[in-house]
Amino acid sequence: MHSLWNTRVSFDIAIKKEYAESHVSIRFKVLLVVLPILIPPLIIAGAASALSARGGISAIGREFLQFKAEELVRYAGEQWRLLVDNELSDDPDYVSIAQQTVGAYAAGMIRRDSELVFAVQPDGALAFTTRPIQLSEDERRAIIGRTRENPSGWESVTVGGVRRVAQSIPFAPFEWVVFFSEEEAVFYSSVQAITRQTAIILAVSVFLAVLLLVIFTRSLLRPLSMMALTMRRIIGEHDLSQRVEVLYRDEIGDLGHTFNLMTDELSEMYEQIKRYAFEAVVARRQERKIRTVFQKYVPIDVIDQIFAHPESILVGQTRTLAVLFSDIRSFTSIAERLPPEQIVASLNSYFSAMVDTIVEHNGIVDKYIGDAIMAFFGAPVSRDDDAHAAVRSGLDMLAALNAFNARQTELGLPVFRIGIGINYGPVTIGNIGSDKKMDYTVVGDMVNLASRLEGLTKIYHVPILVSESVANEVKDTIPCRWIDTVRVKGKSDATQIYAPYRTADKNQRDAWALQERGMTQYFRADFREAARYLLAARKLLPKDPIVHKFLMQCKHLIASPPPPNWSGITTLGE
């Protein structure tokens, strides 16, 4: 009877859930009808206000910068006239003094730290600047192009890596183009404040509109709520003899009458339902026992799939997913220094931390290969971000390893270092084996490459490497650095390999961009140009092993040029 009671309760909960979903859906439909009428005008009004404010403030700011720029050029004109009147315009020393005077006057016009005044010569060189700045080559070319196309006017330029708005005016006697500039973020700060205020007002307006709409729909649906209360009383008391009171002769009244007819039918079928429920409870208990035993050996998603489709237990599939390999470096030497029971305890603690991280990202631990872990992402349930999940899992495994090593150090035990390799592509997946022993696993050339990538982490001194296919999937959201182009053992085709990072600062990104340019020239056999970019990258990352490796190779190949058919591809594992 206890089982029958649980079955009845489950049936009641299902009815309540169905009721709740239907009730919410009606309110939701009302919201869908009314909100599109209310919200767009609010959004349009807010956007129009923000744009109007931006235009007005921008116009005032432009006029102010233009006034300052014109004032500076006027002063420069006065200095030039002094030179001309005193017949000193051809004397370089006096011209230089006049130019310095103009620069000093420009510095005196500065009213806040974010302002910057500078003058550019025809070749892009800085004639003067009110504070030290360093123009990159790209910035210099951009400024030269702008001054040639339109030497006078409103500009948006990048100076020293900072986006600025500027008013430019040419000064022909000195062959200058003078820029009076302000940081873009400071220039538009008032606009941003107005935009934030507009957004807050808009959010409050939308909230009040939704609140009033909810109150209105609740009042509108009150008769249905009263009928639902009667239905819940019938379900809660398990008394099918109760009936819904039909108050109105309309659609809601028809619904109540139909429910009364349904309860009559349910009373007749109740005994049969109890028998079926008893059989279902027994079946569920048996299924739970099977799941409890086998989920220790087989992923729970696989068990669910087998119960749902037992006929597919021996059928393989071709799927696109991500495969991750991780391995403890020099584990044999660690194991030789510890007693067996301590090795097992450390490994269990390590595996627990790693597996929890993999499972957290919807990964499946395929198998343990000694101290190595093989996992995959994208089966039996495929998701849109399987490659992202694999890379995030790998990065989180490194973070979990730091916490594990901290505990190892506290206990006076050796720390672990690991390498991780990740690949993404088509594989064959299924229950592979015999009728006596089988594994739900993946096989294929893509799996082998993932294993090779893990081994390459030792050679390139990085904790995690991913293939080109993985980098293409994740590079928009996860920083990925090109490490090399290699041909691994067992593969005829070369592949680019990348190292993903959780974060990357500007210095790192700039260095990686220079390194990538250098490597591009390296694979084109232009070793001197490659070395130039790599030397620039080394200034930003002085101790980086990848930059050092390619610099040494460029030095060697400049001294001993390679044959004409040289490709630059690193062949490993031969």
Residues 461, 574, single domain; the answer is no
pLDDT digit string (tens) for 338-391?
A: 888 999 999 999 999 999 999 999 898 888 898 899 999 988 778 889 999 999
Tell me the mean pLDDT in the region 394-417.
Answer: 94
Confirm whether 250 is domain-assigned. Answer: no
8 A C-beta contact, residue 12 and residue 277: no
Question: Does the residue 485 lie in any domain?
Answer: yes
| The pLDDT of residue 23 is above 80 | no
Taking the C-alpha atoms of residue 86 and residue 445, their distance in angstroms, rounded to an integer, is: 83
Would you say residue 397 has pLDDT above 90? yes
Phi and psi dihedrals of 351, rounded to 5?
Answer: -60, -40
- pLDDT for residue 571 is more than 70: yes
Sign of CA pseudo-dihedral 214, 215, 218, 219:
negative
* Number of domains comprising the chain: 3
pLDDT band at 507 (very low <50, low <70, confident <90, very high): very high
485 and 510 housed in the same domain: no
CATH, residue 14: 3.30.450.20
Instruction: Over range 287-300, report the average pLDDT.
Output: 59
Neighbours of 136 (CB within 10 A): 13
| Angle at alpha carbon of residue 380, lines to 379 and 381, rounded to 5° | 80
With beta carbons less than 8 A apart as the criterion, state whether 441 and 367 touch. yes
pLDDT of residue 297: 45
Q: pLDDT tens digit string along 63-102?
A: 777 787 788 888 888 888 888 888 887 888 888 888 788 8
The predicted structure's pLDDT at residue 22: 45
Q: Are residues 66 and 95 in the same domain?
A: yes
State pLDDT tens for residues 322-351.
999 999 998 988 888 888 899 999 999 999
Place of tokens 């495994």: 397
| Close Cβ partners of 360 (under 8 Å, ≥ 6 residues apart) | 393, 396
d(CA 128, CA 99): 8
Task: Tell me what the mean pLDDT of segment 301-311 comes to.
Answer: 63
Let me know whether 407 and 480 are in one domain. Answer: yes
Prior bond of 562 cis (ω within 30°): no
Nearest alpha-carbon partner for 313 in 441, 436, 430, 428: 430
Cα-flanking dihedrals φ and ψ of residue 398, to 5°? -65, -40
Domain residues for the domain of 366 are 312-501
In the block, residue with structure tokens 């068990």: 303
Q: Rounded to a whole number, what is the distance in angstroms from the first to the last CA of the chain?
A: 70
> Is residue 490 located within the same domain as residue 527?
no
496 and 509: one domain? no
Does 362 reside within a domain? yes
Q: What is the CATH number of the domain that holds 357?
A: 3.30.70.1230
Instruction: Tell me the residue ranges of DSSP E strands in 203-311.
Output: none
As a whole number of angstroms, the distance between CA 420 and CA 428 comes to 22
With a CB cutoff of 8 Å and minimum separation 6, the contacts of 535 are 551
225: which 2 tokens? 């709520």
Tell me which residue has tokens 């597996």.
355
Supply 192's token pair.
Answer: 């941003």
Is residue 441 in some structural domain? yes
Q: Within this chain, do residues 59 and 128 fall inside the same structural domain, yes or no?
A: yes
Q: Do the domain assignments include residue 360?
A: yes
- Domain end (from 220, 239, 263): 220
CB atoms < 10 A from the CB of 412, how many? 6
The pLDDT of residue 391 is 96
Contact 394, 500 (CB under 8 A): yes
- Is the CA virtual torsion 302, 304, 307, 309 positive or negative? negative
Is 207 found in the same domain as 94?
yes
Is residue 243 in some structural domain? no
Q: What integer is the mean pLDDT of 533-546?
A: 93
263 vs 93: CA distance, rounded Å: 107
pTM score of the predicted model: 0.50
Decide which of 220, 237, 268 is a domain's last residue: 220
% pLDDT > 90, the chain: 30
20 and 82 assigned to the same domain: yes
Q: Which residues pair with 116 in a beta bridge?
A: 181
Cis peptide upstream of residue 170 (ω within 30 degrees of 0)? no
Domain shared by 552 and 413, yes or no: no
Place of tokens 């008013």: 167
Cα distance between residue 360 and residue 374, in whole Å: 16
Q: Is residue 179 part of a domain?
A: yes
pLDDT, one tens digit per residue, over 521-532 is 999 999 999 999
330 vs 189: CA distance, rounded Å: 55
> Is the model's pLDDT at 216 over the cut of 90?
no
> Band of the pLDDT at 2, cuts 50, 70, 90?
very low
Flag whether pLDDT at 9 surpasses 50: no
Percent of the residues in the chain that have a pLDDT greater than 70, as a whole number = 76
Lowest pLDDT segment from 139-148, 295-304, 436-445, 531-540:
295-304
CB 223 within 8 A of CB 252: yes
| Residue after which a domain boundary falls, among 447, 474, 501 | 501
Distance between CA 428 and CA 320 in Å, rounded? 9
Pair (564, 425) in one structural domain:
no
Query: Are 35 and 14 in a shared domain?
Result: yes
The alpha-helical segments, DSSP class H, found in 497-565 are 506-523, 527-540, 545-559
Is 152 part of any domain? yes
Unique residue bearing structure tokens 């003078």: 178
Q: How many whole angstroms separate alpha carbon 195 and alpha carbon 57?
A: 12
Q: Nearest-CA neighbor of 512 among 546, 553, 470?
A: 546
Task: Evaluate if residue 484 carries a pLDDT over 50.
Answer: yes
Averaged pLDDT, 140-156: 77
